Amino acid sequence: MLWEISVFIFTLAFLLFVFFWILYLLQLRKTAKHIEIVLVTLNQSLPGILAKLDATAGYLADSAGIIKSCAEGLALSMAKIQHILNDIVDFEQTLRREIEIPLLQASGTCQAFMKGVRVFLTTLLSRP
């Protein structure tokens, strides 16, 4: 009797296993059909996507070339401006060296002259 109950339980367990295995296989088949539909749709639209991607890559390459040439032009312009500014600084330093000492001497002479005129006028006006 124990043997018959064991066989019955084993048979029942096997039938449940087969039933759930069939449900699993049916779900797997549905999933495979959905994946097939997705793959067919993807294969149909993939050439268009790749063509657009290639066009975009071409546009990006053209844009990068334009930006590179503009950056090179800007760098050249900046180098020219830097050279001009260096020339202006050199000119200012040379001009300062050449003019500063004579200008200070002339300023000192002018101040001495003005002081002399002031002393002369003060002396001239203070005499009775």
Residue 85 and residue 126: Cα distance in Å, rounded? 57
Sign of the dihedral through C-alpha 17, 23, 25, 27? negative
Tell me the average pLDDT across 49-66: 93
In single-letter form, the type of residue at position 19 comes to F
Judged by DSSP in three states, 128 sits in coil
pLDDT tens for 65-87 read: 999 999 999 999 999 999 999 99
- Global confidence as pTM: 0.47
Average pLDDT, the chain: 91
φ/ψ of residue 127, rounded to 5: -75, 135
Residue 93 and residue 100: Cα distance in Å, rounded? 10
Tell me the average pLDDT across 28-35: 95
Residue 119 and residue 111: Cα distance in Å, rounded? 12
Could you state, in order of their start, the residue ranges of all structural domains in the chain? 1-95
